[in-house]
Every structure is written in structure tokens, then in C-alpha cells.
A and B are shown apart, each in its own frame.
Chain A
Amino acid sequence: MQTSIQLPTDPKLQYLLRIGDACLILGQRLGEWCGHAPIVEEDIALSNMALDLIGQARGVLTLAGDQCPQDYDEDQLAFLRDERDYLNPTIVELERGDFAFTVLRNTIVATWLKLLWERLRDSNDAELAAIAGKALKEARYHQQHAADWVVRLGDGTEESRRRIEAALARLWLYTPELFEDDAVDAAAKAGGLGPAASELREPWLAEMREILGEAGLVLPKDAAFRSSGKRGVHSEHMGYILSEMQYLQRAFPGGVW
């Protein structure tokens, strides 16, 4: 078995991992639809989006690896960390769920990422700014595609409505985490690396309100529950997705295509 890598505690590294891991884990999750989506056109669309996210993760994780004295590469960061060292928000690791759950999660995350990439184009890290410029185009399409489905399901049949409402009730609980600040955000903001998480809350809420309104859905009330994936404390779903992701690299260390 390949030993797990050790990470330095560096706010810039953590800021980057929160973004890169969000893309990586959601990309892996979305990949589960490959061959299983309700129609072949949507199967291809979801796989396209999964690959876009993996591409974004590759860019950000490569940059994150450059922050480490050991100069890790994207593969080491993606496949050789322990669960506690993944810093994605919990919402992206939750189980695949049904189609309504998938398109609503994609809408929530794509809207957040779109706003984040918009801001990161002005990052004082030129490489991060370049990644953001490219990723923004992808996130805009992801948002449009997913939001379109949310409206269709909300405004569809009794069954589609029931499913999208159930998805909203559950997923909404995991959204406050996206906008919670800590020392990592303070450092990123002060240093010009990128926005603090909380800065994206209002614009995100405005866009979500519009989409959910069009779908005829009511915004759930705020709850006390707080998820904590960004701090490395994950849900029960994380271990399973990591074991699937990491199996090959752990069994065949350094294996490449």
C-alpha cells in the first residue's frame, strides 16, 4: 500500500484545496451517472460536466501541490491523502441520489463556483486567475443546464415535484457551509488571493432565489445544522467515495495510463 502524503498547514494551500477538492469530489460523484442517466443525451451531458470538473480540479490541485515543500503533483494530492486532509464542502460528497437530487446539487454548486471563479479571475496569483478564466465558462454552462432541469422538475408532474422538493429540503442544510469564513478566508482576502467565502453568499442567494422561484419552489428556512467538510470533518459518505477513488493508486503505486 502507498503511504498517505503529509500536508503542511498553510492557509493558501488550504484555500486552494477547498476549491480543488470541491471540483474533484463532485466530478467523481457525477461520474457515477455514466451509463445510468435517464436518457442517453443527459448521460453524455452529465459525463461532460464531470470531466469539466475533473479538469478544474487538475489545475487547482497542481497549483496546490506547488505550495508544498515536497512539491506534490495533482495525482498525489488526488489519490494519496487521508480523509481528514480533503477540504471539500460536505455537499459535494453526499451520495449520488436520484436525478432531482443530482440536478439541484449541480445547480447549487455550479452557481457557487461560477461566482467564485468570477472573483478569482482577479486573484493576485496569475495561475489561479488563468484557471478561473477558463473554468468560468464551464461553470456558466453547468449552471444553465442544471437550473433548467430544476425548473422543469419543479414545474413538472406531481412525482417530479415531490422529488425536487425532497432534494431541496435535504441539500439546503449543506449550503451554509459554503459561505462560512475562518482564518483561511481572512488570509486569502487580505493577501489578494481570492474572496472570503461569505462574500459570495448574497449574490448566490439572489441567483438561487430566481431559479427556485421560477421552479415554483419555496426557499427552506435556515437550520442550526452545520456541515464541516471544509475543515476536513466529513460525512459518512466520504470514506466510501475515497476508497473507490484511491483503490487503484494504493494497490498499484505510481500506476499511470
Chain B
Amino acid sequence: MSTNNEWPKTGNAASEWPLWEVFVRTKAGLDHKHCGSLHAADPKMAVQMARDVYTRRQEGCSVWVVRSDQIVASDPGDMDMYFDPAEDKVYRHPTFYKLPDSVDHM
């Protein structure tokens, strides 16, 4: 926090709180799903803020927060190499099997 009345200007990375990714579980038994991000000074504040920002309309029963800089992501430049080859491999979908009638909901 600066010593005058002003909050640190945005874009000043050194004075900004770190970014956190927020995951919310909508109900017991389901997965935590990524729903957004927020700035917070530490883990405790991040969990509280996640609760306030992302669960105020009964969206969840549990939240996870993860420091954004801890996430390892694929490189957008590798997109064609990584993901395009899957395009013409329809046989990887399990839709070519004939299922017995007694098996529902597959």
C-alpha cells in the first residue's frame, strides 16, 4: 500500500497482489470447476475473496484457489502440433461398438 491516499496504479506489477485462479465445486461429488480469477495478498485472503466473489448466488459448497503463476500451460504456438492431429481420428470415440440393449446411458 502506498503512503498517500491513492491505491497503487494498476499495471504496476511490483505493487499488485498476486493473481489466483478460482475453482468452485457446485455440489458434493462433482468436480471443482474453474470459474475465474482474482487478486489477493495471501492464501487466506484468496479463499475468502473467492467465497465472496464466486459463491454469492449459491454456486458452490467448496472453493479451491491456486496461484496463477503455479499453473503450467501448453504453449499456444504448439496448438496445431498438439491438438490438430486429433481432428481426423474419429475412431478414438467409443461410438463404433454395438451395445446390448440392457446397457443404458453410455
Q: Which residues of A contact B (CB under 8 A)?
A: 38-39, 41-42, 44-45, 48, 141, 144-145, 148, 152, 156-160
Q: Could you list 29 A-B pairs, sorted by A, with CB under 8 Å?
A: A38-B7, A39-B7, A39-B39, A41-B38, A41-B39, A41-B49, A41-B52, A41-B53, A42-B49, A44-B53, A44-B56, A45-B48, A45-B49, A45-B52, A45-B53, A48-B52, A141-B51, A144-B48, A145-B48, A145-B52, A148-B44, A148-B45, A152-B41, A152-B45, A156-B1, A157-B1, A158-B3, A159-B1, A160-B1
Kindly list chain A residues whose C-beta atoms are within 8 Å of the C-beta of B1. Answer: 156-157, 159-160
B24-65: which residues lie under 8 A (CB-CB) from chain A? Answer: 38-41, 44-45, 48-49, 51-53, 56
Assess whether B3 is in contact with A41, with CB atoms less than 8 Å apart.
no
Assess whether A148 is in contact with B48, with CB atoms less than 8 Å apart.
yes
Q: Give, as a whole number of angstroms, the nearest-CB distance from B36 to chain A.
A: 11
Give A152 to B1 CA distance when docked, in angstroms.
Answer: 11
Assess whether A159 is in contact with B49, with CB atoms less than 8 Å apart.
no
Give A39 to B19 CA distance when docked, in angstroms.
Answer: 13
Considering the complex, give the chain A residue whose CB is closest to the CB of B48: A145
Number of A-B contacts (CB under 8 A): 36
Assess whether B3 is in contact with A159, with CB atoms less than 8 Å apart.
yes
Give A89 to B52 CA distance when docked, in angstroms.
Answer: 27
Q: Give, as a whole number of angstroms, the nearest-CB distance from B48 to chain A.
A: 6
Additional A-B contacts beyond A45-B49, A157-B3 (4; CB < 8 A): A145-B48, A152-B45, A159-B2, A159-B3
Q: Give, as a whole number of angstroms, the nearest-CB distance from B97 to chain A.
A: 49
Q: Give, as a whole number of angstroms, the nearest-CB distance from B69 to chain A.
A: 18
Assess whether B48 is in contact with A48, with CB atoms less than 8 Å apart.
no
Give A157 to B4 CA distance when docked, in angstroms.
Answer: 12
Q: Give, as a whole number of angstroms, the nearest-CB distance from A34 to chain B.
A: 13
Give A45 to B51 CA distance when docked, in angstroms.
Answer: 9
Considering the complex, give the chain B residue whose CB is closest to the CB of A39: B39
Kindly list chain A residues whose C-beta atoms are within 8 Å of the C-beta of B7. Answer: 38-39
Kindly list chain B residues whose C-beta atoms are within 8 Å of the C-beta of A45. Answer: 48-49, 52-53
Known: A152-B41, A159-B3. A44 touches B52 (CB 8 A): yes
Annotate B1-29 by CB proximity to A: 1 below 8 A, 0 otherwise. 11100010000000000000000000000
CB-based closest 9 A-B pairs: A45-B52, A41-B49, A159-B3, A41-B38, A44-B53, A38-B7, A44-B52, A41-B53, A157-B1
Kindly list chain B residues whose C-beta atoms are within 8 Å of the C-beta of A39. Answer: 7, 39
Give A148 to B49 CA distance when docked, in angstroms.
Answer: 12
Give A58 to B43 CA distance when docked, in angstroms.
Answer: 34
Partner of A48, one of B3, B40, B45, B56: B56
Give A41 to B41 CA distance when docked, in angstroms.
Answer: 12
Kindly list chain B residues whose C-beta atoms are within 8 Å of the C-beta of A44. Answer: 52-53, 56
Q: Give, as a whole number of angstroms, the nearest-CB distance from A35 to chain B.
A: 14
Kindly list chain A residues whose C-beta atoms are within 8 Å of the C-beta of B53. Answer: 41, 44-45
Give A41 to B3 CA distance when docked, in angstroms.
Answer: 22
